[in-house]
């Protein structure tokens, strides 16, 4: 995980319990508690009217993977890439030796 602080305007990827697809949203507000050093962020999808307060579960992020959300976006917008990736993984499984 990067040591750089999260800033307003950055794109983050997170999972919501019970939803299989990660959410890719923009940080709209960062709140840091001076006494504990904890940081809370508020996110919002660019095409959404309201922020994501109703989505959040109580908990903490355990990692940070920059640009992972792009994989989901590209595979959703260009399904041929998804099929090529699945085919390549299938060939790898078939041709691998134990």
Q: What is the Rg, in whole angstroms, of the alpha carbon atoms belonging to the chain?
A: 17
CA dist., res. 69 & res. 59, Å (int): 21
pLDDT at 93: 92
Could you tell me the pTM of the whole model?
0.49
Contact 12, 5 (CB under 8 A): no
| Residue-wise pLDDT tens digits, 13-70 | 888 777 788 888 899 988 888 788 788 888 888 888 888 777 766 666 666 677 877 8
pLDDT at 1: 56
pLDDT at 56: 67
């Amino acid at each position: 995980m990067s040591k750089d602080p999260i800033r307003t305007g950055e794109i983050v990827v997170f999972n919501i319990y019970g939803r299989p697809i990660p959410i890719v949203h923009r940080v709209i507000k960062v709140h840091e508690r001076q006494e504990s050093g904890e940081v809370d962020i508020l996110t919002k999808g660019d095409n959404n009217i309201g922020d994501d307060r109703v989505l959040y579960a109580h908990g903490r992020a355990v990692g940070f993977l920059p640009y992972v959300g792009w994989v989901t976006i590209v595979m959703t917008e260009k399904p041929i890439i998804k099929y090529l990736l699945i085919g390549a993984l299938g060939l790898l499984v078939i041709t691998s030796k134990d």
